[in-house]
Chain A
Amino acid sequence: MREIPHLFDANALLGPIFLRHDDTPDDVPRLLAALDENGISRALVTHGRAKWQHPAIGNRLVIEQTKGIDRLVPCWVVLPSITGEVPPERELVAQLLESGARAARLCTGMNRLTLEPFEIDTLLEALAERRVPLFLDTNNRHWSEDRPWAFIEWAVRTFPTLPLVLLREPPANYRTLFTLMERHSNLYIETSYFQGHDAIAHVAGRWGADRLVFGTGIPEWDPGMAITGLTYASFSVEDRDAVAGGSLQRLLDNCVV
Chain B
Amino acid sequence: MAQTTTATDSSTLTIREAALRGEPLTDTFIVNNHSHLGLYYGFAQPAPDADSLVRTMDRVGIDQSCVFPSLAITADMRAGNDMSLEAAQRHPGRILAYAVPDPNLASQVRDEMQRCIDAGVRGIKFHTGLHEYPFAGPGYVPAFELADRHRLPLISHGVDSPDVLRRTARAYPNAHFIVAHAGAGRRHPEADPIYDVALEEPNVYLDTAGSVAYYGIFAQLVKHVGAGRILYGDDFPWMCPTHQIGRILLAPITDDEKKQILGGTMQRLLSTRQ
Contact = CB atoms under 8 A, between A and B. Distances in A.
Interface of A: 1-6, 19, 21, 23-24, 37-39, 41, 141-143, 170-175, 193, 195-200, 202, 218-234, 237, 240-241, 244-246
Contacts of B42: 172
Contacts of A221: 213-215
B274 interface: no
30 contacts: A1-B7, A1-B9, A1-B23, A2-B23, A21-B216, A23-B219, A171-B239, A175-B43, A195-B240, A196-B45, A197-B56, A197-B238, A197-B240, A198-B240, A200-B240, A218-B215, A219-B216, A221-B214, A221-B215, A222-B213, A224-B246, A227-B20, A228-B22, A228-B60, A228-B249, A228-B250, A229-B240, A229-B243, A229-B246, A241-B2
Nearest to B251: A224
B21 A231 contact: yes
Interface stretch (B46-54, B99-107, B162-170): B46-54
Given A39-B20, A221-B213, A232-B242, A246 B1 contact: yes
Interface in B54-107: 55-56, 59-60
A3 B2 contact: yes
Contacts of B3: 3-6, 41
Given A1-B5, A24-B215, 17 more contacts: A2-B21, A23-B216, A142-B211, A172-B42, A174-B46, A175-B43, A193-B211, A198-B56, A199-B240, A222-B213, A222-B215, A227-B250, A228-B19, A232-B59, A232-B60, A234-B56, A244-B1
Nearest to A22: B216
Nearest to A142: B212
Given A2-B21, A196-B46, A232-B22, A171 B211 contact: yes
A175 B20 CA distance: 31
A240 B22 contact: yes
Nearest to B36: A197
Closest 10 CB pairs of A and B: A228-B246, A231-B22, A224-B250, A229-B243, A195-B243, A197-B237, A3-B2, A222-B213, A23-B216, A224-B246
A125 B248 CA distance: 43
Q: Which of B1, B5, B9, B219 has the most CB of A within 10 A?
A: B1
A26 B84 CA distance: 46
Q: Is the interface on chain B under 10, 10 to 19, 20 to 34, or 35 or more residues?
A: 35 or more
B236 interface: yes
Given A222-B214, A224-B250, A232-B59, A5 B2 contact: yes
Interface in B222-258: 236-252
Contacts of B23: 1-2
B243 A225 contact: yes
B211 A195 contact: yes
Q: Which of B20, B21, B52 has the most CB of A within 10 A?
A: B20
Nearest to A25: B215
Nearest to A20: B215
Contacts of B239: 171, 195-197
B214 A4 contact: no
Q: Which of A170, A200, A231 has the most CB of B within 10 A?
A: A231
A9 B185 CA distance: 22
Nearest to B216: A23
A237 B3 CA distance: 13
B213 A225 contact: yes
B253 to A, nearest CB: 11
B187 A19 contact: yes
A197 B59 contact: no
A224 B241 CA distance: 12
A173 B215 contact: no
Given A1-B10, A4-B2, A219 B215 contact: yes
Contacts of B218: 222, 224
